Amino acid sequence: MFDQVQEVIGKLRPFLLRDGGDVELVDVDDEGIVLLRLKGACGNCPSSAITLKAGIERALVAEVPGVREVEQIF
């Protein structure tokens, strides 16, 4: 599942980079929870929670079977 998540993040990364941010995949646990670290401009952006939940999480849940949730770590 880690590789599938990494592939989806690779598709989303250009959009984050365009705004001066980035995302790092930290881990995917056995319960389908994906741990991400937002970096650059995304790391301290007031809209980062929306980016994480409405953007990244939505794409991962839709495209990777078994992914249930995305959590941000700092």
pLDDT tens for 39-56 read 988 887 788 888 888 899
- Domain with residue 11: its CATH number is 3.30.300.130
**What is the pLDDT of the chain when averaged over all its residues?**
92
pLDDT band at residue 19 using 50, 70 and 90 as cut-offs? confident
Domain total in the chain = 1
SS3 content of the chain, % helix, strand, coil (to 5): 50, 25, 25
Secondary structure of residue 11 in the 3-state scheme: helix
Domain that holds residue 20: 2-72
> How sure is the predictor about 60, in pLDDT bands with cuts at 50, 70 and 90?
very high
pLDDT of residue 44: 78
DSSP one-letter string for 34-61: EEEEEEEGGGG-TTHHHIIIIIIIHHHH
